[in-house]
Amino acid sequence: MNESLLRKNIREIKAYVPGKTISGLIKLASNENPFGPSPKALEAIKKETSNLHIYPDQSSNKLREALSNKFSLPAECFVCGNGSDDIMQVLAASYINQGDEVIISKNTFSVYELVSKIYDGNAVFVDLKEFAVDLGAISSAITSKTKIIFLTNPNNPTGTIFTAGEFDSFMKNIPENIIVVVDEAYAEFVESKDYPDVLKYIKQGRNVIALRTFSKFYGLAGIRIGYGIGPKELLAPLFKVKMPFNVNRLAQAAAVAALDDKKFLEKTFKNNAEGKKYFYSEFDKLEIDYKKTEANFIFVNLKRPAEEFAKSMVEKGVIIRSLQSFGLPQAIRVSIGLPAQNKKFVSLLK
């Protein structure tokens, strides 16, 4: 293939590196729900299969109604996607002009960079500060060309959050012509009382979009469904740009049912809260350097080559994530699993 045929920005793109899945092994690599899918979602999927010959609702209206009730915002303030990364792409396609700057934290989820480059935006990277998103440095990186700022809260892969107070101060300096995207893929796991209320800004009509997903807390990573929340004027163009039937019937039905699966969601939250405490106490005993997490994974700074470590773990039956592809070659990310899975990881670590 002749490289020169490719658009310039596409030549620079590195392919997304997913967590590995190997049958029979314990997977603590992709922050999936260790209990599997929500049982209510599974039931809804089975029911929906008899309608598979009919196109899905192009706007996922039932789901948007359910989200509207959950968040007390009009249904027009929600857009659904084939995973939240689909919404990132549609957002970039809707708003990025060639040469627009997109501010992204370094060492974070790579899809922000991917979608920015696909649409000829210039990704501007800002260092993390002590492995956390540095809102001050991000503010300082704003120029007249800035179009979008991607923030991740809790941050992947470090599990840290920026607080409500920090976000409020940050928002005071954001000009109206910049879109602030807050990726809250792990919001449902947060225990801190200082987690920002991004919806407050959406209600004020600011150019802010929160991204959420059913892939993590709700256990539906494999069916692909996520959503964006934003002022309806900001979201309206996304409905023109997205592919008409981007969210399939099974995903829509599953998501509506999962939102309502109280028992499953409580179990998921409790397991995660207990799992992280277990990891903290074991890591403390081993004097391992880690970050306290508000998500369903823990960042461990191994201070030795992570890729080799991850390989040796796979040989022993546990898949964790080396953060080499995140630009952190000496660190790993471990998803919080079931107690026996966590224990197995710790025993290998020892």
| Residues within the interface to ligand PLP (CB under 6 A) | 31, 83-85, 109, 152, 156, 183, 185, 213, 215, 221, 226
Of 161 and 221, the one with the shorter C-beta distance to ligand PLP is: 221
CB of 83 to ligand PLP, least distance (A): 3
Of 152 and 246, the one with the shorter C-beta distance to ligand PLP is: 152
Give the span between the Cα atoms of 114 and 17, in whole angstroms. Answer: 12
In 3-state terms the chain splits into helix, strand, coil percentages (rounded to 5) of: 40, 15, 40
CB of 3 to ligand PLP, least distance (A): 29
Of 83 and 337, the one with the shorter C-beta distance to ligand PLP is: 83
CB of 206 to ligand PLP, least distance (A): 21
In the complex, which residue's CB is closest to ligand PLP?
83
Q: Burial letters for 56-79: b for 16+ Cβ neighbours within 10 Å, e otherwise?
A: beebbeebbebbbeebebebbbbb
Q: Which token pair is 338?
A: 């079931």
CB of 180 to ligand PLP, least distance (A): 15
Of 36 and 99, the one with the shorter C-beta distance to ligand PLP is: 36
Q: Which of 64, 35, 30 is nearest to 255 (CA)?
A: 64
Instruction: Tell me the DSSP string of 191-223.
Output: --TT---THHHHHTT-SEEEEEESSSTTS-TTT
Give the span between the Cα atoms of 291 and 299, in whole angstroms. Answer: 6
Q: Burial letters for 80-111: b for 16+ Cβ neighbours within 10 Å, e otherwise?
A: bbbbbbbbbbbbbebbbeeebbbbbbebbbbb
Of 16 and 55, the one with the shorter C-beta distance to ligand PLP is: 16
Of 158 and 271, the one with the shorter C-beta distance to ligand PLP is: 158
CB of 99 to ligand PLP, least distance (A): 25
Give the span between the Cα atoms of 345 and 127, in whole angstroms. Answer: 30
Q: Which of 170, 231, 177 is nearest to 200 (CA)?
A: 231
CB of 173 to ligand PLP, least distance (A): 24
DSSP H/E element including 227: strand 226-229
DSSP H/E element including 149: strand 146-152
Of 182 and 346, the one with the shorter C-beta distance to ligand PLP is: 182
Give the span between the Cα atoms of 185 and 155, in whole angstroms. Answer: 9
CB of 41 to ligand PLP, least distance (A): 15
